[in-house]
Structure 1
Amino acid sequence: MESQFIMNECYIQFLEKLYSPTENLKQCEQNVKDAVAILAPSVRLGKAEVVMEAPASKLRENEEHQHITLYDQGSDVGTEAYALRFALPDKGYVNIILYPAGMTSFSDQEKEIQNLLAKQIFTQFSRIMMQGFLTHVINTDMATGVANQEAFMRFVVALMKQQQLAQYHVFFFNIHNFKYVNKVFPYAEGDVVLRKYAAYVDSKTQDGKVARLGGDNFVALVRNEQVEDYIHMLQNVKILHATQDKKKEFLFSATIGVSSLDNIEAPRDVLAHASIAYQAARIRGVGTLVYYSEEIHKRLMANQTIISQFAPALAAGEFVVYYQPKVNISDRTLYGAEALVRWLHEGTLIPPMQFVPQLEREGSICKLDYYVLEQVCKFLQKRKEQGKEQICISVNFSRKHLEEDDMVERIVAIIDRYGIDHQYIEVELTESEDFQNYEIMSHIVNGLRDHGIGTSIDDFGTEFSSLNMIKKVDLNVIKIDKSFIPLEMEYPGKKKDMIMFANIISLVSQLGKKTIVEGVETEEQLAYLREVGCDIVQGYVFDKPLPQPEFEQRLEEGYSPCTA
């Protein structure tokens, strides 16, 4: 009967409609419905349904799409269904359920025809679902379920063609402190939280598009009238996550770059403007917001120039070491010096504030620190070979080094390469808000001490340095920033400042550590520091940072006991 049926005119029309060309998934689905409607009367089909089982059903997120009615004549439909189940390559299933027209069940011969009909429907549906699956994969970041960068850019191009891009702002944002999630839950659960976050943010993007760029970085197109609400939302995202063992609500903020899209000439400029604004926000600080401007663009380009020129400049020896003397306050004798780096580029001496922050953020500062240490060791080696007196020189090491596993070993290797006694090198460390891991800091300090290398904490009293640091990390020297020195003029609160400063000096002294006060500029400050018991001072009252020849001269001449 099947061989005769396939020559049936209705069946041929059914196939022509079923496999007619389509441009999208919705049209394909409609073709199947139309094709079944053509054939149904000739094969006594009263109703036809398709039910998809996971993971095939995941391709249609709305529940209504799990169960599709292909055909229903409405009345006089039998209740005894003929059901067929087809497996998909991805382990999903398509169930095709056919009901007879009238109350009589399908005969065996009719079931042969219905089986042929079901196979053709499945073949087309499997093609439809594969098409949908491929479209889904091509356009989706599979880890979060939101769009990927390619889909985002296609959306941008479409808006440009429709001349609607100016109706949107672009956001580039990074979730603040998402790593905390992985401290509370295992990494697999962290992925779930990230997916929840992405879904929430996507749900708040009306008529726009959210895409994940990688990690916890996202980009979004947001309608102009929604911008302020969207900013507020990104700074206050609450995500509740629970497992069998624990339950936790996370409050996420974000570092955000925003740009209007009024004068965009090319699709690539959309992401470029957002990225520039975001980079500026990162420089300003975690959790901040920056709007794109040409001025910000120029500033970042200058920073990129510095970063791109760093490696060749380092290889060419353009970075030179200056030395600022440290002086014993009691007798004005030289205690040591701090090595400070300058960049001599094309005849111009560039101060550190114009390149160190950029290198710090980019990470190249670590290479520069080791370079400075090596230059200091070369200087001390030269003095040793000349039979001149050795002096302890401190070298600054960025907090970036705290992420290294072999910091102590590398420092020791450089010092030993030049045959320098370890007591003549001191390592200056700086604490920071984002690296208050005293255990790691203490491990490094103890490791250096085991090799006879002294350590100091820089800028005590500013930013994030604290009494907790000197309690938990056994440093040799505490450097106190000039901002802690009470001003010479009278001002409200001066008495309190003087009491605090004097007690800090006393506390450090009682702990058996030396105090160095930097930034001392006047004899009046010097007299006050001597009075409260400070050990060592550093600043313009004695010398500015000196190039090596002038520093060597200062080592020979010393300081007059009568004048600065």
Structure 2
Amino acid sequence: MERLHKRALLVLALVLLGVIVNYLSIPLLIKSDYVFDKALILTIIYIAGILCGAIAIKIINNYISDEDTKESIVCNHYMEQFSLQNMLTNLPNRIALEKRFELILEQTCDKNFKILFIDVDGFKIVNDTLGHAVGDEVLKKIANRLREIIDGQGELFHIRGDEFVLLLSKNESIEDICHMAKRIIKSMAIPFVFKERELHLTVSIGIATYPWDGYNVNLLLQSAHLAVQRAKESGKNNFKVYDHSMNLKMNKKLDLINNLHRAVEKEEFVLYYQPQVNSLTGEVVGLEALIRWESPEMGIISPAEFIPLAEETGLIIAIGDWVLKAACTQNKAWQNLGYASLPVSVNISALQFQESSFVDKVVKVLKDTELDPRWLHLEITESIAIKDTELTIDILNRLKDIGLKIALDDFGTGFSSLGYLKKFKINVLKIDSSFIRDIGEEDATITKTIIVLGKSLNMEVIAEGVETKEQFNYLKEVGCDKVQGYLFSRPVPPAEIEKMLYIA
């Protein structure tokens, strides 16, 4: 726009120049003693105007060209700066890290340096609950705190989102690097204050070394990121140093995920059932459906191995839907064969429970299988229940309106609260096996307290993981309604369950 403005002024100046020359020249020529042809005079005037205009154009074009060159240089400089900088935190970005990496290698081939890949744990929750504007402000505070911790001992980069990289190129020992990682973790554990609200954040750190863990920046970052993942799998808020076995584990994990996708498509799953026994009569009064994966290549795979991957990849929703339908279908089939009607418990994952269509799915399965809702129990964990209490209460009320019973699984391992139990109006309380496994004086007291609590709220109480007669006798003595565990039966296929059931 500015350049167009200058061009317009140039044309205007040219026109004015022609007018002025014409105005001044004609009277002078008329007063002179020489006689000129009028056409010749006008031709000379216009040629002179054109020459003057051409000279003016040349001068102004040179001026504009010089200005454009200066503007271009300044613009290119700023564009280069912007391309190397994270605009939110003003830290060098991923491109700057790559350039720095190349520069270090140009200076010396024998250089060995280390990077710390710093990942903020659970930062997505901040964005989801407080909004991205608040999240951006928090990232600025994180960047400032990292600057203070590092204090010039390395080069800090903000490569994307909640991921930062610290480059250390002074041949520090691995002990020094680990000490730096510990300092960062300790400092980041101090709550961030934002608008009079405390935010508790932690970081997981992966450490990788050039050239052993990667001969270029991409491979080095990949190795450090694998170490971060191991740190997160180990409970987060810690650090791991990369080793090559991590690649083997990651390859195995990727193979398992690929096979799991195929397993969902081909329904390579089966349900086993574990009996729940009445403590007083010893009769089977309920069953818990437990999934197994029968892979053609790998054999039977434990849910402890594939369920976490299913949750991580989102496949747990499809798997959970299959379990729900398969359990209801099997239960109805037993009833059609004349066996006594028993409730079958199905475990519900967090992703399933939070689906907007979850209740509708349950209703559809019950309708399709023609199973009475009384014979389906849904199990949720404490962590699911308290994640969004309003949502939980709404879903539970809708499920109860259908006629379902709800069990709270693994009670005692999370944020157990009498207030939550009253709000949720749970039907069944399941005591986690960790309280049963080593019943000593302290565990016995906790177990008894949970049973008394459940009874006071008119809940049925089930103890999981009962393996010895001593455990069973104690639970029966303190009034536990039902027990479940290897003492009575492992999870077994439907055919084995039928041997335990009785004809109605």
| Same fold, TM-score > 0.5, yes or no | yes
* 2:276 aligned with 1:326: yes
Contact (CA 8 Å) 1:366, 1:397: kept in 2 or not?
A: no
CA distance in 1, matches of 2:116, 2:331: 52
Contact (CA 8 Å) 2:101, 2:217: kept in 1 or not?
A: yes
* 2:96 aligned with 1:145: no
* 2:477 aligned with 1:531: yes
Contact (CA 8 Å) 1:147, 1:211: kept in 2 or not?
A: yes
| Residue ranges of structure 1 left out of the alignment (5+ in a row) | 1-85, 90-112, 489-493, 559-564
CA distance in 1, matches of 2:221, 2:3: 39
* 2:207 aligned with 1:258: yes
Write out aligned runs for 1:514-553 (5 A). 514-553=460-499
Q: What CA deviation, in whole Å up to 9, does each residue of 1:381-400 have, x standing for no partner?
A: 33344444332111111223
Write out aligned runs for 1:384-463 (5 A). 384-432=335-383, 436-463=387-414
Counterpart in the other structure of 1:335: 285
2:266 counterpart (316, 335, 338): 316
Bigger share in strand: 1
CA pair 538-419 structure 1, distance change in 2 beyond 3 A: same
CA distance in 1, matches of 2:158, 2:185: 15
Q: Shift of the alpha carbon at 1:87?
A: 6.4
Q: What CA deviation, in whole Å up to 9, does each residue of 1:323-375 have, x standing for no partner?
A: 00111111112211111111111262222222222323333222222211121
1:379 counterpart (322, 327, 330): 330
Aligned residues: 443
CA distance in 2, matches of 1:216, 1:193: 10
CA distance in 1, matches of 2:304, 2:155: 40
CA distance in 2, matches of 1:430, 1:302: 29
* 2:501 aligned with 1:555: yes
Counterpart in the other structure of 1:191: 136
Write out aligned runs for 1:55-70 (5 A). none
Q: What CA deviation, in whole Å up to 9, does each residue of 1:56-105 have, x standing for no partner?
A: xxxxxxxxxxxxxxxxxxxxxxxxxxxxxx9699xxxxxxxxxxxxxxxx
Contact (CA 8 Å) 2:274, 2:490: kept in 1 or not?
A: yes
Letter in 2 for 1:336: G
Contact (CA 8 Å) 2:386, 2:392: kept in 1 or not?
A: no
Write out aligned runs for 1:488-507 (5 A). 494-507=440-453
* 2:300 aligned with 1:349: yes
Contact (CA 8 Å) 2:284, 2:500: kept in 1 or not?
A: no
CA distance in 2, matches of 1:161, 1:425: 68
Write out aligned runs for 1:97-116 (5 A). none
CA pair 207-232 structure 1, distance change in 2 beyond 3 A: closer
CA pair 160-431 structure 1, distance change in 2 beyond 3 A: farther
Q: Shift of the alpha carbon at 1:522?
A: 1.9
Contact (CA 8 Å) 2:340, 2:503: kept in 1 or not?
A: no
Write out aligned runs for 1:19-30 (5 A). none
Letter in 1 for 2:271: V
Letter in 1 for 2:467: E
Q: Shift of the alpha carbon at 1:313?
A: 1.2
CA distance in 2, matches of 1:180, 1:313: 31
TM-score (normalised: structure 2): 0.78
* 2:75 aligned with 1:126: no
Counterpart in the other structure of 1:159: 104
CA distance in 2, matches of 1:415, 1:220: 55
Q: Which deviates further from its counterpart, 198-207 or 442-451? A: 198-207
Letter in 2 for 1:518: E
C-alpha root-mean-square deviation of aligned residues, in Å?
3.4
CA pair 201-425 structure 1, distance change in 2 beyond 3 A: same
Letter in 1 for 2:205: I
CA pair 212-486 structure 1, distance change in 2 beyond 3 A: closer
Contact (CA 8 Å) 2:295, 2:301: kept in 1 or not?
A: yes
CA pair 240-270 structure 1, distance change in 2 beyond 3 A: same
Counterpart in the other structure of 2:237: 287
- For the residue of structure 2 that corresponds to 1:394, the secondary structure is strand
- For the residue of structure 1 that corresponds to 2:290, the secondary structure is strand
CA distance in 2, matches of 1:420, 1:250: 47
CA pair 431-250 structure 1, distance change in 2 beyond 3 A: closer
Counterpart in the other structure of 1:67: none
Counterpart in the other structure of 2:227: 277
CA distance in 2, matches of 1:148, 1:365: 36
Contact (CA 8 Å) 1:480, 1:516: kept in 2 or not?
A: yes
CA distance in 1, matches of 2:281, 2:432: 22
Contact (CA 8 Å) 1:515, 1:536: kept in 2 or not?
A: yes
1:307 counterpart (243, 251, 257): 257
Contact (CA 8 Å) 1:145, 1:199: kept in 2 or not?
A: no
Counterpart in the other structure of 2:47: none
Q: Shift of the alpha carbon at 1:282?
A: 1.6
CA pair 126-166 structure 1, distance change in 2 beyond 3 A: same
Write out aligned runs for 1:173-184 (5 A). 173-178=118-123
CA pair 298-399 structure 1, distance change in 2 beyond 3 A: same
Letter in 1 for 2:426: L
- For the residue of structure 2 that corresponds to 1:236, the secondary structure is helix
- For the residue of structure 1 that corresponds to 2:370, the secondary structure is coil
CA distance in 2, matches of 1:424, 1:313: 28
Contact (CA 8 Å) 1:156, 1:267: kept in 2 or not?
A: yes
Letter in 2 for 1:176: D
Letter in 2 for 1:532: V
CA distance in 2, matches of 1:352, 1:259: 32
Query: Identity rate of aligned residues, in percent?
Result: 30
- For the residue of structure 1 that corresponds to 2:271, the secondary structure is strand
| Residue ranges of structure 2 left out of the alignment (5+ in a row) | 5-57
Counterpart in the other structure of 1:15: none
Q: What CA deviation, in whole Å up to 9, does each residue of 1:95-130 have, x standing for no partner?
A: xxxxxxxxxxxxxxxxxx999997565323210122
- For the residue of structure 1 that corresponds to 2:117, the secondary structure is strand
Letter in 1 for 2:92: A
2:180 counterpart (229, 232, 250): 229
Counterpart in the other structure of 2:17: none
Q: Shift of the alpha carbon at 1:429?
A: 0.7
CA distance in 2, matches of 1:140, 1:454: 56
Letter in 2 for 1:254: V
Contact (CA 8 Å) 1:139, 1:151: kept in 2 or not?
A: yes
Q: Shift of the alpha carbon at 1:277?
A: 0.7
Counterpart in the other structure of 2:315: 364
Letter in 1 for 2:468: T
Q: Shift of the alpha carbon at 1:549?
A: 1.2
CA distance in 1, matches of 2:155, 2:390: 43
TM-score (normalised: structure 1): 0.70
Q: Shift of the alpha carbon at 1:427?
A: 1.0
Bigger share in helix: 2
- For the residue of structure 1 that corresponds to 2:501, the secondary structure is helix
Q: Which deviates further from its counterpart, 146-155 or 418-427? A: 146-155
CA pair 351-466 structure 1, distance change in 2 beyond 3 A: farther
CA distance in 1, matches of 2:106, 2:370: 68
Letter in 1 for 2:370: G
2:163 counterpart (207, 217, 226): 217
